[in-house]
Amino acid sequence: MNRKYTGKYHDVDQNDIPFSVQFSMNVVFDSKMIFKGKVWEEVFSKKTDKFLSVKGFIDEDHISFIKQYPCFFSSDINGELIIDCSKPGHEVIYDGYWNEEKGIWEGEWEVEGETNLLGTDDVISDIYTGDFEMKMD
Per-residue pLDDT tens for 62-114?
Answer: 999 999 999 999 888 787 888 999 999 999 999 999 999 999 999 999 998 76
Q: Are 65 and 54 in contact (CB under 8 A)?
A: yes
Q: What is the pTM of this model?
A: 0.89
Q: Please determine, for residue 118, whether its predicted confidence score (pLDDT) is greater than 90.
A: no
pLDDT given for residue 116 in this prediction = 59
Torsion of CA 71, 59, 104, 108, to 10 degrees: -50
81 or 135: whose pLDDT is higher? Answer: 135
The mean pLDDT of 36-63, rounded to a whole number, is 97
Q: What confidence tier does 39 reach under pLDDT thresholds 50, 70, 90?
A: very high
Length of the chain: 137
